[in-house]
Structure formats: C-alpha cells, structure tokens
Amino acid sequence: MQIDVVTLFPQWFDWFRGQRHVANALEAGHDLRALDLREHTPLTGGQVDDTPFGGGAGMVLRVDVMDHALRAFYDTDPVELRKERRVIALTPGGRMLDDGLVDELAAEPAVTLLCGRYEGFDERIVQHFCSDAVSIGRYVIAGGELAAMVVCDAVLRKLPGALGHVDSAAEESFSVALGGDPEYPHYTRPAEYRGWSVPEVLLSGHHEEIRRWRRARSRERGASGTA
Ligand code: ADE
C-alpha cells in the first residue's frame, strides 16, 4: 500500500515512521511519504493560506496552493487524481473514522491524506480534489497531522506483516470477529495480586469455555458502551 500525507510539517512523520509496527509495514514493502505542501506554493514567501472571505478568525488553506502542490507531486490534475486514488481531507466535520472505514482504506492500493491547519481548507479543495473527508472525532485539534497519524496507524497495523502475531488485528476491538463489539478484558501474571484474582476460567485451559467467556464479556462491553 502507498500512503502519502500532504502536510506543512513533513518532519513530524520522521518519528512516526520509526514506530515498530509502522517500520514493520514499511520493511514489508508498504510506503509512507510526507509531502511538503509549502515546497510547491506558487505564492511568494512560502504563503499557503489566506484570510477567510466573509471575515472570521484564523486562516484558510488556499485552493490554488493545493492545486499546484498536488500537480507537482502526481503530475496530474487533482480533479482527475481523486478518480485514481482515495484523496482524503482530514477535517473535524468529516466521516467518522471507525474500524469499517479503516478496513476499507487498508484494502486500497494508494491513499493521499491532506492535512489542514489553522481554520482548515478552502471548501473547494474538499469539493473538487477529495474523494472523502474524514474526522477522528467531534473535537478540533490544531491540524490534520495527528489525525493523519491516527489514520495511518490504524490502517498500517491491519496490513500483513505489521503486527508480530497474525491474529492480533483479526480479533480485536470492533472487528468482525467480535461482532463489532469492544475487545474482552485481558489478564497476565501474577494470577493473584493484592487480592485481585484473574477469572478462574482463563486459568482452566478449556479453550471453548474461554472463547465463550470472552465473547460474553465483549458483548457486555458493547452493550454498556465501556471499552
Ligand atoms: N483536523 C482538526 N481536527 C480534526 C479532527 N477532529 N479530525 C480530523 N482532522 C482534524
């Protein structure tokens, strides 16, 4: 899979690339590039944003700057680009990221994530250059970079080779294997600590009973909304 992140802070992704499961995915042949939006602005002084028409606080990323940058990166009109690969604007008002969307993106050969800053994007960027707008939650963070890392983290760990154990991503919170419910509770040694003991069934060695116990706890958590 090929993931590109268009950002004003490409160096932030140097750290991210070094994280174990990300590094594993990259070693397995997947690709993550951080592309510098400012490098291709046609405006003087590295300008990329402007004040909003109609007034209001903050600055808005300009559509002409994004047009130039995407053309430079892909050598194609961005209006056409979104027909060739998913181009995703990260914005608080977008489609909420969940396990289903992560699976959908993990199945794509190539994805481009656009990071907003300040007050976000000129709406024409989203309308004409993007196939999707995605949010990581109904709150506002200072820019799309951390949201892009959340998307990349969630997507890359689904790819073969990213996690140590083949089943790690298959049976985890919100997966199809758990019927969309949160994951069951985990315990490890010591079996008894300060009088808090591990549920007996997990020490029993009865795989079918353990499976049923875990499924039941997972369902309870799904019903109560506490993961
Ligand atoms: N940019 C700023 N806030 C965001 C959010 N909640 N999700 C995605 N991108 C964002």
Ligand 1 binding pocket includes 139 (Cβ within 6 Å) = yes
| Residue whose structure tokens are 């489609």 | 95
Question: What's the whole-number mean pLDDT along residues 125-145?
Answer: 97
* CATH class (in words) of the domain with range 2-156: alpha beta
- Distance (Å) of CA 213 to CA 183, 200, 219: 12, 11, 10
Round to whole Å and give the CA distance between 9 and 39.
Answer: 11
Residue 7 CA to ligand 1 center (angstroms) comes to 13
- Quote the mean pLDDT of the chain: 93
Structure tokens at 91: 């914005």
Give the Cβ contact number of residue 110 at 10 Å: 13
In this prediction, residue 180 carries a pLDDT of: 82
pLDDT over threshold 60, residue 85: yes
Ligand 1 pocket test target in 6, 8, 90, 150 with most atoms within 8 Å of CB: 90
Mutate to test the pocket of ligand 1, among 114, 118, 132, 141 (most ligand atoms within 8 A of CB): 141
Query: Which pLDDT tens digit goes with each residue over 169-178?
Result: 666 777 777 7
Residues of the chain with CATH 1.10.1270.20: 176-224
**Can you give the pLDDT at residue 117?**
81
Percentage of residues of the chain with pLDDT beyond 90:
85
pTM of the model: 0.92
Instruction: Give CA–CA dist 5/38, Å, rounded.
Output: 13
Phi, psi of 16 (to 5 degrees): -60, -40
pLDDT at 88 over 70: yes
What is the third-level CATH fold of 176-224? Trp Operon Repressor; Chain A (1.10.1270)
Please give the Cα distance from 18 to 31 (Å, whole number).
13
**164 has a pLDDT exceeding 90:** no
pLDDT, position 173: 77
CATH 3.40.1280.10: which residues of the chain?
2-156
pLDDT of residue 226: 55
The rounded distance, in Å, linking the Cα atoms of 188 and 184 is 13
